[in-house]
Structure 1
């Protein structure tokens, strides 16, 4: 009797497992949001990349968790992440137990964490969205991903409104700079890593999208990596005496002071002209909100004639 009972339970467990496997095969992970099907709109969402969290917040959806929520508040800032959002480890190494404890019904992740996807899909349906890829335009990709996410969360109208507002804000920024006589100003756009090394952002970068859609001219045309930047040093910032040097904040004061004290700094053309300004905090690899926000901050700085790090 006991053996038959156990055997029956085992058969039922196996049948249930097969049913679950069939369901997960269709809905657990997808590069295409159209393939994800939910009986109910997801409510408890975890975002494992800051631009994914940015998109959720732009849709007026507060994630239950995100990777390095404190870092988001420092480096991304807007849209603001409420204190209720739990941190679930680092962006490069999410904490699976912390994610599981939040009992999510949707996990958002980029393709750059594809090795973690099998473990994530064992916790909850997982949507993979990637803006940076070989040959892709990250600005167009971000807009497509926001719309796809809006459909899943039953907020497609909100997603379209966010995109329309971004286009409107960028158009207004271009108008302001043009009327101020600043259209087509040449510029480098960089993030200082310390007192020597910089990331110089080129064509396939979100910062370049902000720069060019504001009506400015990026003078960096050398090859970039998949993220849209070239690792460089101060020596790479020569050859354009009339260009602006635009750096992304935050930039630690200690690094700034060491750079100003270096023997190379006085020879940087922008240090001689004072055509240097910082903007931020805004996320270097942000989404649909970050691009117009960065462009507007930049326009405000340039129109005020802000000049920093005087030689």
Structure 2
């Protein structure tokens, strides 16, 4: 998260908008603190974006999503190594190893076609979170490599979806 703040301030300085950049960082931090106070205890979250019916990107370290989860006091279930963009490309089979996680599916700008009926699609319907009915599908209203504005849109969407879901026992 610190890297996002530094990057934003550097860009602000480079375009002679340092004060606006500082305000953006401050407003984002304040808004995330407010959202954090609304978050109930959750099991670890598994943030995925479908590539096709058999593969997904799973977001972890180095991702904007990881930064947001930390800011909201939430845990990411994905602890495996990620690439420079903060995701691992995995087979759906690997997601069965994270049984306690709540699945959060990010709609793609180019939908694979199963995001909105994941509970009846192929092997996806057998994932523990889908079987429990506690998975979440978030709209694609943010850029996965974005900074503060995208992070806030993701955080707002996630917190709203978590509030709408029936409470679940926090795992682990």
TM bucket (normalised to shorter chain) is 0.7 to 0.9
Match of 2:70 among 197, 212, 228: 212
Do the aligned residues in 1 keep the contact of 2:62 with 2:85 (CA within 8 Å)? yes
Per-residue deviation at 1:257? 7.1
2:133 and 2:81 map into 1 onto residues whose CA distance is: 27
Per-residue deviation at 1:231? 0.5
1:152 and 1:174 map into 2 onto residues whose CA distance is: 32
2:116 and 2:138 map into 1 onto residues whose CA distance is: 18
Per-residue deviation at 1:161? 0.4
Question: Hey, what does 1:147 align to over in structure 2?
Answer: 9
Question: Hey, what does 2:161 align to over in structure 1?
Answer: 301
After superposition, the C-alpha distances for 1:169-188 in whole angstroms (9 at most, x for unaligned) are 111111000xxxx2353110
Whether 1:266 and 2:108 are equivalent positions in the alignment is no
Per-residue deviation at 1:253? 6.2
After superposition, the C-alpha distances for 1:61-82 in whole angstroms (9 at most, x for unaligned) are xxxxxxxxxxxxxxxxxxxxxx
Per-residue deviation at 1:149? 1.9
Per-residue deviation at 1:255? 3.7
Whether 1:226 and 2:84 are equivalent positions in the alignment is yes
2:137 and 2:37 map into 1 onto residues whose CA distance is: 21
**Helix, strand or coil: the match of 2:52?**
coil
Do the aligned residues in 2 keep the contact of 1:195 with 1:258 (CA within 8 Å)? no
1:279 and 1:163 map into 2 onto residues whose CA distance is: 24
Whether 1:285 and 2:145 are equivalent positions in the alignment is yes
**Helix, strand or coil: the match of 2:148?**
coil
Residues 10-25 of structure 1: pairs in structure 2 closer than 5 A: none
After superposition, the C-alpha distances for 1:44-88 in whole angstroms (9 at most, x for unaligned) are xxxxxxxxxxxxxxxxxxxxxxxxxxxxxxxxxxxxxxxxxxxxx
Per-residue deviation at 1:272? 0.7
> What stretches of structure 2 of length at least 5 have no aligned partner?
167-172
Instruction: Compare CA radii of gyration and give the structure with the larger one.
Output: 1
**Helix, strand or coil: the match of 2:113?**
helix
**Helix, strand or coil: the match of 1:217?**
coil
Per-residue deviation at 1:258? 8.3
Do the aligned residues in 1 keep the contact of 2:69 with 2:76 (CA within 8 Å)? yes
Give TM-score, length-normalised by structure 1: 0.49
Question: Hey, what does 2:103 align to over in structure 1?
Answer: 245
Report how many residues are paired: 163
Q: Which has the higher contact order (CA 8 A, sep 6+)?
A: 2
After superposition, the C-alpha distances for 1:222-268 in whole angstroms (9 at most, x for unaligned) are 11111111111221112444421001123626344786331x23321
